[in-house]
Amino acid sequence: MKNFQFNRLFLLSETSRKARIVKFEVNSNAIVGTNHTGKSTISRSLFFAFGCNVRPFGNEWDKNAATAVEFQIGDTAYTMLRSAGIFSLFDATGSVIWVVSDESELREKMSDLLDFGLVLTANQTNEVRKARPAFFFVPFYIDQDGSWDAPWRTFQSLGEFRQWDVPTIELALGIRSSEYWRKFGQLSERKHELEDARTEQRVLTGTRDKLAKQFPSVPWHLDAISFRRELREFEAHASDLAVRQDALMGRVAEATATRDSLLAQVQLAEDALLSHSEDMQFLESFKVGASIECPTCGTEHINSFSERLKLEAEADELRQLRQSLVGRVKKAEKNLEEAQLDILRVHDKAQRLDNYLDIEKNQIKLRDIIDRAGVDRAFSLIDAQNSEVDTSVVNLMKSIEALQISLAGLEDKKHAKNVKEYFNSCYSNFATQLEVPASLSKRSGPVSRKPQQGGSGGPRAVLAYYFALSHTAAKYSKGIIPPLVIDSPHQKAQDEINRPIVTEFIFRNKVPGQQLIVGIEEGLPASIKLGNNDSETRLMEKFNLLREEDYPSAYKCIQPLVQASREYLRKQSEAS
């Protein structure tokens, strides 16, 4: 088991000239303080530094505060700095490894650092991309506000991806490897590309059919040659008109294909908005705050105002996309109209030349020569593009078949069964220790499904679930395992009997070798003795986590990192 370990947290506010330094030991760490003393701020800041979209810190928090985390992966030490929208990684000597400001760059860098190969499909765009750092930490972090109920709401915006929970938890537990999910992401991407290619095929075929109806195929080349021999003095004029119409017919074909493709995208957006409207009508049948099981995938959701607002925000994005597409359709139609007008002008010139010549032979006129030359060129362009798309479709289908075979080879059903059985056994054992109600003491179904029940027994069942995740990951996962971070485990009015049971359970059942960080309201029970590799941090003042006495030391550590980040970006800018 290769572990990820937090060593020190730095929080620095230059506005208030206050700071906080929190040191963590390798084994167990207790953060003790009553409400509003900063327990949640400390735990959330650990993940905020790595770009996780944590739940709000509170209105009193300085949004410009710098956050730095000293951590290590195995025996290699690093420091991560987040300041003014910039993320910087440093080695043990303080030298810059990389600096990024773009979230896409950050997820690429963190994916490499953590050897975290999870790829997921975006809900809105169907784009397949690497998961954010939040998905690395989420199975091992219990947030005070977002984790103690059945739905997964530890971090905000987890719903960016479709059905993310199953692959995330299965990867964390070692049910399927990182390599499996990398190839699964490649397969999803190839399927998406194949869908786009087939859409383009349909558009090109439709465009060619329309052109064929308007300009039926008529043999003309031999008569045209004969005609041109008789009209050598006008050959230059005919050639010029043919070339111009050739180009214009290509423009018409391209503009028509662009317009039809955009119209197809507008229809897709309108279909998605219709589905959203139906979803909102479905939500109206449930009370606010009620738990809803998705009829498609079985995932549990909370029908909250915030979730509805997120859904409506997604709908606004779709409406904006539709409006943008409609504007592009109008532009494409305008381009098509201009090309058609240019063709009419060429027609007029050819007609005037035709009338001037007033020559007919074998029912072939100069007008026919120019028309057929342009039409044949348009057919040639469409056929060439269609041939490229056909080749792409064949190659994509071969790639999909190869990936499916590769995935089948990476699938180990016996191993998956063993992991799930061990996980369920751990959960039952922990649920018994925590005196979870009988209805929650056993579990079945996907490992990604959290216990679902209210009352004081619900949070204890959730705690048993997270400990089962950690113990199973330690036994089976080949990836890096982060610390288990638990914020405020005494949820839903745990009484004086259950509170010590919960606290003792947490410290007695930690995974050997995995760091434990726990934020609790009360001091540790007398039965829990911390050792040399453990720590206890006490928070004494409400709404005053940062302290003046920590500012000089924190500033001395963080300011050189901030300057090094700026210098790195300056050199990057000059080099580009």
Q: CA angle at residue 112 from 107 to 118, to 5 degrees?
A: 65
The segment with the largest mean pLDDT, out of 157-166, 297-306, 432-441, 543-552, is: 543-552
The segment with the largest mean pLDDT, out of 278-282, 392-396, 450-454, is: 392-396
Residue 358: predicted pLDDT = 52
End-to-end CA distance of the chain: 41
* Tokens matching residue 396: 């994509």
* Pick from 170-179, 271-280, 292-301, 493-502: least confident: 292-301
Residue 225: predicted pLDDT = 55
Inter-CA distances, 3 with 26, 75, 465, 473, 498, Å = 10, 9, 20, 11, 31
* Pick from 24-33, 74-83, 196-205, 360-369: least confident: 360-369
Residue 563: predicted pLDDT = 96
> Is there a contact between 537 and 30 (Cβ–Cβ < 8 Å)?
yes
The answer on pLDDT for 220 being more than 50 is no
Q: What is the pLDDT of residues 227-268, one digit of tens each?
A: 555 555 555 666 676 777 777 777 777 878 888 887 888 888
* Tokens matching residue 571: 């050199």
- The band of 292, judged by pLDDT with boundaries at 50, 70 and 90, is low
Rounded (10°) CA dihedral 396, 401, 403, 409: -170
Cβ density class 28-67: b for 16+ within 10 Å, e for less: bbbbbbeebbbbbbbbbbbbbbbbbebbebeeebeeebbb
Region 433-447: mean pLDDT is 89
Q: What is the pLDDT of residues 516-555, one digit of tens each?
A: 999 999 888 888 999 999 999 999 999 999 999 999 999 9
Region 422-441: mean pLDDT is 93
- The band of 272, judged by pLDDT with boundaries at 50, 70 and 90, is confident
- The band of 362, judged by pLDDT with boundaries at 50, 70 and 90, is very low
Region 127-154: mean pLDDT is 89
Across all residues in the chain, what is the average pLDDT? Answer: 85
pTM: 0.70
CA distance 300 to 165: 11
The answer on pLDDT for 361 being more than 50 is no
**Which of 121, 199, 193, 107 is CA-nearest to residue 160?**
121
- Domains of the chain with CATH codes: 2-176+430-575 (3.40.50.300), 221-378 (1.10.287.370)
Q: CA angle at residue 471 from 470 to 476, to 5 degrees?
A: 100
Residue 328: predicted pLDDT = 85
The segment with the largest mean pLDDT, out of 186-195, 283-292, 319-328, is: 186-195
Task: Say what percent of the chain tops pLDDT 70.
Answer: 84
In the 3-class helix/strand/coil scheme, how is 146-162 assigned residue by residue?
A: CCCCCCCCCCCCHHHEC
> Is there a contact between 69 and 77 (Cβ–Cβ < 8 Å)?
no
The answer on pLDDT for 283 being more than 90 is no
The answer on pLDDT for 222 being more than 60 is no
Q: How big, in percent rounded to 5, are the helix, strand and coil portions of the chain?
A: 55, 15, 30
The segment with the largest mean pLDDT, out of 169-183, 316-330, 531-545, is: 531-545
Region 479-501: mean pLDDT is 80
CA distance 154 to 141: 7
